[in-house]
Amino acid sequence: MKNEIQFEVFGDYALFTDPLTKIGGEKLSYSVPTYQALKGICESIYWKPTIVYYIDEIRVMNSIQMESKGIRPIDYGGGNTLANYTYLKDVHYQVRAHFEFNENRPELKFDQNEGKHFSIMQRSLKAGGRRDIFLGTRECQGYVEPCEFGSGEGFYDQSETHHLGTMVHGFNYPDETGRNMLEVRLWQAQMKAGIITFDRPENCQIVRPIKEMEAKMFGHESITSADDLSKQLGGE
């Protein structure tokens, strides 16, 4: 199937926030990206409601380093407050992912053209993405380029298995599950020889409801089909 994407993403800083540290207002990054953060990067490269991205693997290329910075975030009561945010520094990852058609959106059957979506996705990746790339948060700018997953030398290539503990995996949205509920998924992450192989969302054992939510509806009048979009971009 023509549905796979392989790319590298890098930047000076990243903040994949551990939600436990948000309570006190001083954020601490996970040591590696979450599934949801990588999915968001894929969607910034190219996204349509017709498709759903699945992250297969990530390869950590650089050593995991952290740096704390003094920040003046906006206070809910007005003005600014003081906080320390701990960022990842000098990050570089290789990502392998693929897309599948969203079967919970039967109204978008007309847009299920695998070849067209694949071609547009590859062109968008070569251009650096259709939207800005963020590494966990708005102030951490990222950059993407095509690559062959597994190429080059990584810092953890010869390392043994690292158990990363319980991490947020991602969110279950109503348009992807068919349930009118927003849910959060957790999983036990581990890295072997620098590579993290992600569980599929439906295989995550720890799922917690957050709130009721309904999916936004799309149709012919609200989106441009992959066929028409490919023509607009100069494709076949």
For residue 233, pLDDT over 70 is answered with no
Structure confidence at residue 2 (pLDDT) = 84
- What average pLDDT does range 211-221 have in this prediction? 82
**pLDDT for residue 232 is more than 80:** no
Question: 112 — phi, psi (to 5°)?
Answer: -85, 70
Instruction: Let me know: does 17 contact 136? Beta carbons within 8 Å.
Output: yes
Question: Does residue 74 carry a pLDDT above 70?
Answer: yes
pTM: 0.91
Both tokens of 67, joined, read 């740096």
pLDDT score at 77: 79
Mean per-residue pLDDT of the chain:
92
- Residue 181: HSE in the Cβ half-sphere, 13 Å Cα cutoff: 8
Return the higher-pLDDT residue of 75 and 177: 177
Structural domains present in the chain: 4-74+82-226 (3.30.70.2660)
pLDDT band (50, 70, 90) for residue 101 = very high
Tens digit of each residue's pLDDT (9 = 90 or more) over 119-158:
999 999 999 999 999 999 999 999 999 999 999 999 999 9
Six-digit token string for 131: 């939207």
Q: Are 129 and 146 in contact (CB under 8 A)?
A: no
User: Among 16-30, 87-101, 179-193, which is the least confidently predicted range?
Assistant: 16-30
Task: Please tell me whether residue 58 adopts helix, strand or coil conformation.
Answer: strand
pLDDT at 4 > cutoff 80: yes
Instruction: Tell me how far apart the alpha carbons of residues 166 and 186 are, in angstroms, rounded to a whole number.
Output: 7
Cα gap 30→169, rounded to integer Å: 12
Confidence band (pLDDT; 50, 70, 90) for 78? confident
* Stretch among 132-141, 154-163, 223-232 having the lowest mean pLDDT: 223-232
Confidence class for position 236, pLDDT limits 50, 70, 90: low
Q: How far apart are CA 135 and CA 120, in angstroms?
A: 23
- In the numeric block, which tokens belong to residue 70? 């003094």
Query: Counting Cβ atoms within 10 Å, is residue 26 exposed (0-12), middle (13-18) or buried (19+)?
Result: middle
User: What's the mean pLDDT in 179-195?
Assistant: 96
Q: How many C-beta neighbours within 10 Å does residue 221 have?
A: 5
Single-letter code of the amino acid located at 35: Y
Angle value at C-alpha 189, between 184 and 185, nearest 5 degrees? 10
